[in-house]
Chain A
Amino acid sequence: MSADVYLNVAIGGVLTGLVYGLMALGLSVIFGVVRVVNFAHGEMMTIAMYLAIAAFSAFHLDPLLMLVPIAVTLFAFGYVLQAGLINLFITRAEHSQFLLLVAIALIIVNVLLILFGPDAQNVQVAYAFDSFQIGRIIIDATKLYAGVAAIVVTAVLFAFFRYTATGTAIRACADNYTGAQVVGLDVRRLYALTFGLGAACVGAAGTILLLIFDVTPAAGPAYTLLAFVIVITGGLGSMPGALVGGVLIGLTEAMAGLLFTPSAKSMFAFAILVLVLLLRPQGIMGRGTA
C-alpha cells in the first residue's frame, strides 16, 4: 500500500479521534470534578445518537444542526441524574457509585434496544460520500466536518471553564471540595451542572460521531470502554489529556483497522489500556493519583 493510503487513513483517524476526544472530555470533566466514574458514559452518547437519528428520519435535519438541541437535552438529562440520584452517593463507597452507574447503563442500553431494535442505524447525509482533496491527501467530508465541529465544541468548553464565573467555581470544586463549600459555593448544584456539562459534551460528540459511524444499542458499552481507555491513557482528570488520548486512540484504531482486521481494532485500544494502567496509571498528562 502506498504512503498516500496510510496518510489518508491516518488523517481520517486523527479527525475521528478529535470526536473521541470530545466524548472522553465529558468523562474527564465529570471525573475531575464530581469524582464519579461515569460507567454510563457511552450509553449516554448512544442516547444522543438515537435522538439525532430520530430527528433525521422525522425532519431530515442534519445532525450538525441538531448539535445544540441534543447537547442541551443531554445536559438536562445529566443535570437531573446527578442532582436527583448521584448526589445521594457522594459520601458512599467508591464501588457503590460505580455500581449505580452500571445499573443506569444497563437500563439505558436495554431501553434503547426495546425502542429502536438491535439493528444498526445511521443517517445518510447529502455529503456522505463527498471528499476533499488537498494535494495528494483525500479527506472524507464527513470526517472533516466532524473534526471541525469537535474542535469548536471543545473550544467553547475550554472557554467556559477559563473565562466564566461558574466555570471557575467548578474548577474550584475540583481542586478542593471542602474548601469550595467553606467559601459558600453550592457544591451539589455545581456537581449537577458539571455532570450536565459532561453529558452535553458526550451528546455533542454522539451527534457528530453519527456522521462517521452507525449506532446500535450495544455500541453504548463499547463507547464507554473506549472513553475509559482514552481518559486513562490521557490522564484521568486532565482535559487536554482527554483530547490527546482521543486523537491517539483514533489514530491507533484507524491504523490497526488498516493493518489488521477492522473487527480486532479495539484489541489494540485495550492493550494500550492495560499497559497504561500498569506502567503509568496517571496517564500521559495526568496529575497525581485519582
Chain B
Amino acid sequence: MIVRLVDGVPRRALWLAIGLLVLALAAPAFVGDYLLTVLILILYFAYVGQAWNIMMGFAGQLSLGHALYVGLGAYTAAALYVHFGIGPWLGLLVAAPIAALAGAFVGFLAFRFRVAGVYFAILTIAVAEFARIGFDHLGWTGASAGLFLPVAQYARNDLWHLRGHPAMFYYILLAATVFAFVGCYALMQSRVGYFWLAIREDEEAAKASGIDTFHYKMVAVIISAGMTSFAGVIYAFYYNNLFAEQIFGIGRSIEIILGPIVGGIGTLFGPVLGSFVLTGLAEMLTAALAAVGVDVPGAKQVFYGICLLLVIILVPDGIWPWLARKLGLKERQP
C-alpha cells in the first residue's frame, strides 16, 4: 500500500519529506527545553490545522468553531481520568465519538437545513459558544473554576497515562501529524477525496454527477471533528488544567484556522508550513519583546491578525503554493 501511495509523488517531494522527518525525529536531542515547547506547539497546530483542513479545504465548509471538538476531546478524557482513573488512550475511545457526534450534529443541522457559507460559519461559532457557556457551568467538570489533572513527577515517561517529559508529547504529536498528513494524502487520492473536491468546487454540479453531497459532507465533518478531538486529549494531559472559557473560546477557533490559511487551504503541506511559520515567528516576537524587558499580552494575537491580513490580501492561496512553485514541486490540487 505504501508503494501505491508513493507512486505518484515526485522524487524531490519525497526526499524533502523524508529529510524533514529525520530532522524532526532528531530534534529533541539538540534543542533546549523552551524550543521544545515551541516545537510541540507547532506540531499541535499543524495537526489540528490538518484536521480542520479536511472540512474546509476538501469539503469547502468554513468552520469557525473547531475549538468545540478540541474542548470536547479534552474535557471528556480529562473528566474520565479525574473521576474514574481511565487513561487517556481509553478516554480517546470515548472522546472521539463524542466529538464526532457533535460534528455530525452541526453538520446535520447545517446540511439538512441548507445553512451554508458564512451562515454555516456563524452556526459553528454559536455552537462552540454554547458549549463554552455550558461547560463553564457544568459542575462535574469543574465549571468555571476549571478542571485539574493530578500531576505526578515520574522518573520515567508513562505513555499509558501520558505523564512525563515534554519530549514524549513531542513524539506523540509528531506521529499524529505524520499520520494525519499521510491519511489526508490517501484520502485525497481516494474516491471520497474526489467527491469532496467536486462538492467544494460546485455542489450543484456534484449532485448532478450523482454524488450524495449530504453524505460526503457529513463524512468530512465527522472525520474532521474526530481527528481534532485527539488534539484536545493531548492538550488536557499536557497542560493538566482546563478552563471552558479558554479552550472553547473563539480565539482558539481562530488560532486553529490561521495555520491552514497562511499555509494554504486545501493543500497537504499548507497547515504544517503555516503552523511552522506563524508559531515560529510569533515565539520569536515574544522572545524579542521579552529580551527588551517588555511583556505585552496581546502582541502575539496582533501579530497573528496582521499575518492573516497580509496573507488574505497578498497571497490568498497561501504560502505553500508559492513556495512549492519555487521549489519545483507541485501538489495535485489548487
Direct contact of A and B (CB under 8 A): yes
B312 contact set on A, CB distance < 8 A: 96, 99-100, 103
**Alpha-carbon gap, A103 to B314, bound state (A):** 14
**Alpha-carbon gap, A198 to B250, bound state (A):** 24
Inter-chain contact A277/B123, CB cutoff 8 Å: yes
Inter-chain contact A107/B306, CB cutoff 8 Å: yes
A113 contact set on B, CB distance < 8 A: 297-298, 301
Q: Is B150 close to A, CB under 8 A?
A: no
Q: Is A104 close to B, CB under 8 A?
A: yes
Inter-chain contact B122/A107, CB cutoff 8 Å: no
**Alpha-carbon gap, A79 to B276, bound state (A):** 36
Mask of A251-281 contacts with B, CB within 8 angstroms, 1/0: 0000000000101101100110110011101
Which A79-99 residues have a C-beta within 8 angstroms of B?
85, 88, 92, 94-96, 98-99
Q: Which of A111, A229, A264, A267 contacts B302 (CB 8 A)?
A: A111
With contacts A106-B301, A110-B305, A113-B297 known, is A274 near B133, CB below 8 A? no
Closest to B133 in A: A267
Q: Which of B113, B137, B296, B309 contacts A261 (CB 8 A)?
A: B137
Closest to B130 in A: A270
Inter-chain contact B308/A267, CB cutoff 8 Å: no
CB distance from A107 to the nearest CB of B (A): 4
With contacts A107-B302, A267-B133 known, is A98 near B127, CB below 8 A? no
**Alpha-carbon gap, A106 to B257, bound state (A):** 13
Inter-chain contact A102/B308, CB cutoff 8 Å: yes
With contacts A104-B305, A270-B130 known, is A225 near B125, CB below 8 A? yes
Q: Is B324 close to A, CB under 8 A?
A: no
**Alpha-carbon gap, A85 to B126, bound state (A):** 28
Inter-chain contact A114/B122, CB cutoff 8 Å: no
Q: Is A290 close to B, CB under 8 A?
A: yes
A95 contact set on B, CB distance < 8 A: 62, 117-118, 121
Inter-chain contact A225/B129, CB cutoff 8 Å: yes
Q: Is A232 close to B, CB under 8 A?
A: yes
CB distance from A238 to the nearest CB of B (A): 16
CB distance from B249 to the nearest CB of A (A): 9
**Alpha-carbon gap, A290 to B109, bound state (A):** 19
Inter-chain contact B121/A106, CB cutoff 8 Å: no
**Alpha-carbon gap, A95 to B64, bound state (A):** 11
Q: Is A67 close to B, CB under 8 A?
A: no
Q: Is B254 close to A, CB under 8 A?
A: yes
Size class of the contact patch on chain A: 35 or more
Q: Is B115 close to A, CB under 8 A?
A: yes
With contacts A102-B254, A114-B296 known, is A266 near B129, CB below 8 A? yes
Q: Is B261 close to A, CB under 8 A?
A: yes
With contacts A106-B305, A113-B298, A114-B302 known, is A281 near B129, CB below 8 A? no
Q: Is B316 close to A, CB under 8 A?
A: yes
Inter-chain contact A110/B299, CB cutoff 8 Å: yes
Q: Is B119 close to A, CB under 8 A?
A: yes
Which B124-146 residues have a C-beta within 8 angstroms of A?
125-127, 129-130, 133-134, 136-137
Which B281-311 residues have a C-beta within 8 angstroms of A?
296-299, 301-302, 304-306, 308-309
**Alpha-carbon gap, A98 to B134, bound state (A):** 27
Q: Is A109 close to B, CB under 8 A?
A: yes
With contacts A103-B309, A106-B305, A277-B122 known, is A263 near B136, CB below 8 A? yes
CB distance from A227 to the nearest CB of B (A): 11
**Alpha-carbon gap, A43 to B302, bound state (A):** 14
With contacts A95-B62, A99-B308, A263-B137 known, is A277 near B113, CB below 8 A? yes
Q: Is B2 close to A, CB under 8 A?
A: no
Closest to A102 in B: B254
Q: Is A221 close to B, CB under 8 A?
A: yes
B114 contact set on A, CB distance < 8 A: 281
Q: Is B152 close to A, CB under 8 A?
A: no
**Alpha-carbon gap, A95 to B62, bound state (A):** 8
30 contacts between A and B (CB under 8 A): A37-B118, A94-B117, A96-B316, A98-B62, A102-B254, A104-B305, A106-B301, A107-B302, A107-B309, A110-B305, A111-B302, A113-B301, A114-B302, A118-B297, A217-B298, A225-B126, A228-B122, A232-B119, A264-B133, A270-B133, A274-B109, A274-B123, A277-B122, A277-B126, A278-B109, A278-B115, A279-B113, A281-B113, A281-B114, A281-B119
B residues neighboring A (CB under 8 Å): 62, 64, 109, 113-115, 117-119, 121-123, 125-127, 129-130, 133-134, 136-137, 250-251, 254, 261, 296-299, 301-302, 304-306, 308-309, 312-313, 316
Contacts beyond the supplied A37-B118, A104-B305, A274-B109: 14 A-B pairs with Cβ under 8 Å: A85-B313, A95-B62, A95-B121, A98-B118, A99-B312, A102-B64, A103-B309, A106-B302, A110-B299, A114-B296, A114-B299, A266-B133, A267-B130, A270-B130
